Amino acid sequence: MSINVAYYGVPGSFSEQALLDYFPNDVHAINNEKFEGVFKLLEDESIPYGVVPIENSSTGAVNAIYDLLNKYPYHIVGEVYVKVEHHLLGSKKATLDTIKKVYSHPQAFEQSKPYLDQHGWELVPYYSTASSAEYVKQADDLSIASISSQKAAQIYDLNILANHINYNTTNTTRFIVLGKNLKVNSSCDKISVVFTTEHKAGALYSALKYFSDFDINMLKIESRPVVHTPWQYYFYIDFEGNLNNPSIKKAIDSMKTDCMYFKLLGNYKSGVN
């Protein structure tokens, strides 16, 4: 029986690619055009997983996803890295000279900025990179193009007007797999948490020092504003470990005592980059 998995975008988006890489067999993919839409789809009992982008190697965090991870009760149960190559797509008769406007996801604009800066095109932020291709196909207008994947060019039958326009040749996006429950098995080697600390000298240091005390390798820190309390922050931390390891348990219990708010986001197997 196939398993229902929600993803961001439409067929040909990088999130769909991430889903297919993570769930290569028997999957029924259900899409949504908004990041929060993917989280909402998981409210349906028949959809156990969702796939969304969280971080890009050139342009950094996808902030909206960090905020949604804290807002919804889901867990990170996996991650997958996808090499992201952007192309400029246009309708069959379009050329670089006919283009006036370019549609894409804002992250794709950032990842292709030096190329776009060479042209005077108007940039129109749109939904996913693949929806942008779909839009260009439907509009059938020589003056518009999208920044999308090669797969989107095939699906929406568009021409590639310029290849590989992302400035970083190792441009990679990390996607997370959302699930409803915390799932810990022996292959899980990465933990994600979010917390707030008191607004006083040394508070963050106190919470983080347990990584050193318990010899735990911290992988990432990201901060996001606590919206209704100006200048307070949620700290999102990724670190190596398995929740069944007693010293990881102790480190987390100690950390909690230094935090005003603490949420365990997940323990999962790190993806291959």
Ligand X SMILES: O=C(O)C(=O)C[C@]1(C(=O)O)C=C[C@@H](O)C=C1
Stretch that binds ligand X, among 125-133, 204-212, 233-241, 264-272 (CB under 6 A): 125-133
Closest separation in Å from C-beta 41 to ligand X: 15
**H or E segment at 251?**
helix 246-257
The residue count for binding ligand X (CB under 6 A) is: 16
Closest separation in Å from C-beta 257 to ligand X: 36
Residue 173 CA, distance from chain mean position: 7
* Residues numbered 52-111 forming contacts with ligand X, rule: CB under 6 A: 53, 56, 62, 84, 105, 107-108
Strand partners, 177: 51, 78
DSSP string for 186-222: TT--EEEEEEE--SSTTHHHHHHHHHHHTT--EEEEE
Determine phi and psi for 167, rounding to 5 degrees. Answer: -80, -20
Stretch that binds ligand X, among 36-44, 90-98, 123-131, 216-224 (CB under 6 A): 123-131
15: contact with ligand X by CB under 6 A: yes
Residue 107 CA, distance from chain mean position: 10
Closest separation in Å from C-beta 260 to ligand X: 31
Closest separation in Å from C-beta 273 to ligand X: 14
Closest separation in Å from C-beta 188 to ligand X: 25
Residue 18's nearest CA partner among 48, 53, 62, 46 is 53
- Interface positions with ligand X (CB under 6 A): 8-9, 13-15, 53, 56, 62, 84, 105, 107-108, 128-130, 173
